[in-house]
Amino acid sequence: MDKVFNTPLAHLLGALLVLLAPIFLQGVEGTIGVNYGTVADDLPPPVQVASFLRDSTFIRRVRLFDANPEILKAFARTGISVTVNVPNDLIPQLTMLSFAQQWVEINVLPYVPATNIVRILVGNEVISTANKLLIVSLVPAMETLQAALVEKSLDRHIRISTPHFLGILSNSSPPSTGKFRPGYDIHVLKPLLEFLRATNSPFMINPYPFFDSSDNTLDYALFRPNPGVFDETTQLTYTNMLDAQLDAVFSALKLLDFEDIEIVIAETGWPSRGDPGQAGVDTGIAAEYNKKLIQHVMSGIGTPLMPNRTFETYIFALFNEDLKPGPTCERNFGLFKPDMTPVYDIGIVHPRVANAAANTDHSHTNSRTNLLLLLLVCLMCF
Ligand SMILES: *[C@@H]1O[C@H](CO)[C@@H](O)[C@H](O)[C@H]1NC(C)=O
């Protein structure tokens, strides 16, 4: 046996496998991101976080809830795609071009292109605030920010969107009846969708089966075997809650004639710890949801109304955040503890990547480096 594995051919094949692995993992890298929330007093320095993500995980997308300069600098030359966020309270001012220009000058220009900023989110779940000024300013703010990006020729690389809670739907069950809340549909969502279509940006939503499930629907929320939910209108059966939520959004988009707009999952997740006696919350269940979530959104199966699609998905969250208010679960959505050990394992930390990182620089030049190495290996063998 030893002899076979020691032949040059075996070495070549082994080297080939190692070198080609990144190609097969590309799917994960393009699809799965994390929300890097920082409501905590015990998180590691951003530089450490950025190199940890780059060298030891498959995650190649992060979303920030602000435009923290230290974090933006930390992700420079990592190749990781970064999404930044304008906080809700700046939205009214952002409708003024001078303010939008200034925001871009302070929060974007100093960091690009070294930091791969690919998206700016204007606010978060703005409609959930019920704040009229914020809501009426949302689309004008996005348009003004877009104008500021165009002036700096940043609009080809950086797209603008805004994430929504599912409360924007007045109807969601069964999924074919999904529609946006009356009033908001025409006055906010329609102009928003027109903007997204014109700028080739996705519609972003924050679906949380965790918050919508009870003891009875836990299996449905967790992608476990269950009787499913039948939609009479479409004659389609839903076997998991996420599909039903995505298709309710799709139906609402379709009703306004925007079914061509890409849907991105800006946040979803499951806590690993809850208050005493809280059902459906532990590390095993959190791991189960996030693992099956990744498999499902990457599989290319899609949903009953959107077959054969993958969904760019950002897991909430990168870290447990000890300063978040509210029930215990709010502080325990993290994939990692502050010391960067996994809270549970869902296969996003890769030992091979961790090892390889010690020897090679994982940047955009990676595939070229791999090709050169491959050539070198071939030369050595023959
Ligand atoms: C989805 O993929 C299946 C299998 O490849 C194919 O039969 C079907 O036509 C596709 N559907 C759409 C809407 O592309």
Confidence of residue 354 (pLDDT cuts 50, 70, 90): very low
| pLDDT of amino acid 378 | 54
Q: Which of 308, 309, 310 to mutate to test the pocket of ligand 1 (most atoms within 8 A of CB)?
A: 308
| pLDDT of amino acid 359 | 46
Q: Please indicate whether residue 299, judged by its CB atom, sits closer than 6 Å to ligand 1.
A: no
Residue 372 has pLDDT above 80, yes or no: no
**Which active-site residues does the annotation give?**
125, 267
Closest ligand 1 atom to 302 CA: 1
pLDDT tens readout for residues 316-327: 999 999 999 999
Cα of 308 vs centre of ligand 1, distance in Å, is: 6
Q: Please indicate whether residue 308, judged by its CB atom, sits closer than 6 Å to ligand 1.
A: yes
Instruction: Select, from the ranges 4-13, 145-154, 341-350, the one with the highest average predicted confidence (pLDDT).
Output: 145-154
Cα of 59 vs centre of ligand 1, distance in Å, is: 28
Confidence of residue 142 (pLDDT cuts 50, 70, 90): very high
267 or 378: which carries more pLDDT confidence? 267
Residue 259 has pLDDT above 60, yes or no: yes
DSSP letter assigned to residue 223: T
Confidence of residue 350 (pLDDT cuts 50, 70, 90): confident
Cα of 257 vs centre of ligand 1, distance in Å, is: 22
Cα of 309 vs centre of ligand 1, distance in Å, is: 10
The average pLDDT across 110-126 equals 98
Q: And the tokens for 376? A: 């070198």
Residue nearest to atom 13 of ligand 1 (CA): 307
Q: What are phi and psi of 27, to 5 degrees?
A: -55, -50
Q: Please indicate whether residue 307, judged by its CB atom, sits closer than 6 Å to ligand 1.
A: yes
Model-level pTM? Answer: 0.86
Instruction: Select, from the ranges 8-12, 274-278, 328-332, the one with the highest average predicted confidence (pLDDT).
Output: 328-332
Residue 23 has pLDDT above 70, yes or no: no
Q: How far is CA 71 from CA 65, 66, 79, 256, 331, in A?
A: 11, 10, 14, 38, 21
Residue 371 has pLDDT above 80, yes or no: no
| pLDDT of amino acid 28 | 59
Residue nearest to atom 10 of ligand 1 (CA): 308
Residue nearest to atom 3 of ligand 1 (CA): 308
Cα of 307 vs centre of ligand 1, distance in Å, is: 7
Average pLDDT, the chain: 90
> Are 292 and 222 in contact, with CB atoms under 8 Å apart?
yes
| pLDDT of amino acid 13 | 58
Q: And the tokens for 321? A: 């955040």
How far, in whole angstroms, is CA 8 from its chain's centroid?
Answer: 42
| pLDDT of amino acid 361 | 42
Q: And the tokens for 206? A: 């924050």
